Amino acid sequence: MIRSASLRSRLAPLALIVAMALALVGCDSTGPSNTDSPPTSNSGEVQVGFSTSSSGATQSASALAKAESDTLTLSGSNGTLEIHDLRLIVDKVKLEQDTESTGDDTVEVEIEREVEIERPSFLDLPLQSSEVLPVAAGDVPEGTYNEFEFEVDDLDDDEQNARALLSDIRSEEGFPNWPEDASMVVVGTFTPSDGTPTSFTTYFEAEIEVERTLSTPLEVTSDGFSRELVVRLDPARWFERDNGTVEALSQFDYGETGAVREFESEFEDGVSEIEFD
């Protein structure tokens, strides 16, 4: 999928930063990862990216396969669902730390995106697990952070950045009919067991806050370092059913129905893990 020039220009610097972070060898959750870099006083840089992963249980249940064309294929007893494109809007990214000395339960530190990309972010989720798409980067104050949170939300407000992003999505990203109350889109085909493929573009309404405890806390020191948090999603879990079928998304094609599908509880089930280097 070709990304628009304006979004490419905003993502390019951050992509370079993340690529450099991934090239570092042997970094762990504490201490500096690049001793040659000048220290940053009382803060450290954290990058956040999204990728895909598939669980063993999901794969055996639905014969999940990922083609070289970056297509996610799910096979069920009712037919085959092929996903060619999956986009979502990441509205906020946060880290939380314990602050017993202040008497407060938590202090929320939001990773600001005003330098690399605007907020919120339009995420073109890679369907190959080897890819990591950066969405945010920023300096985080010194401390120990044990919770991570991100929000998926729509663009149905008058905030300047939200309106600008909605305009970009409609004019440059190939989704001229993107509804204001949509926060995710899935493009693909569904082939019934006894039928022919039917194309669809299905929009989803999801206002979701996903919070996860970091099993190994993220420690930010005054030595200066760079870390990458990677959120791994398993979208197969969003569209598989316990009875062995897959969701026939062609029934919810926006061009045919004009409706946005609600999408709440299924989303969190598809957040498989959050890790950092």
pLDDT (tens digit per residue) in 91-141: 888 888 765 554 556 666 655 433 233 467 899 998 876 788 888 888 888
Which pLDDT score is estimated for 161?
80
Question: Does the pLDDT of residue 195 top 50, yes or no?
Answer: yes
Which pLDDT score is estimated for 271?
79
Name, of 148-157, 196-205, 229-238, the range with top average pLDDT.
196-205
Comparison of pLDDT for 247 and 269, the residue scoring more: 247
State how far the Cα of 73 lies from the Cα of 67, in Å rounded to an integer. Answer: 8
- Is residue 196 a part of any domain in this protein? yes
Question: Does the pLDDT of residue 19 top 60, yes or no?
Answer: no
Question: Does the pLDDT of residue 46 top 80, yes or no?
Answer: yes
- Is residue 33 a part of any domain in this protein? no
- Is residue 37 a part of any domain in this protein? no
pLDDT band with cut points at 50, 70 and 90 for residue 85? very high
Amino acid in position 20: M
Give the mean pLDDT of the chain.
74
Which pLDDT score is estimated for 107?
65
Total domains in the chain come to 1
Handedness of CA 5, 47, 97, 234 (dihedral sign): positive
pLDDT band with cut points at 50, 70 and 90 for residue 83? very high
- Is residue 36 a part of any domain in this protein? no
- Is residue 178 a part of any domain in this protein? yes
- Is residue 28 a part of any domain in this protein? no
- The boundaries of the domain holding residue 170 are 5-17+43-276
pLDDT tens digits, one per residue of 168-194: 999 989 999 999 999 999 999 999 998
Of 75-84, 103-112, 194-203, the poorest mean pLDDT is in 103-112
pTM, entire model: 0.73
- Is residue 269 a part of any domain in this protein? yes
CB atoms within 10 A of CB 8: 11
Average pLDDT, integer, range 66-81: 82
- Is residue 145 a part of any domain in this protein? yes
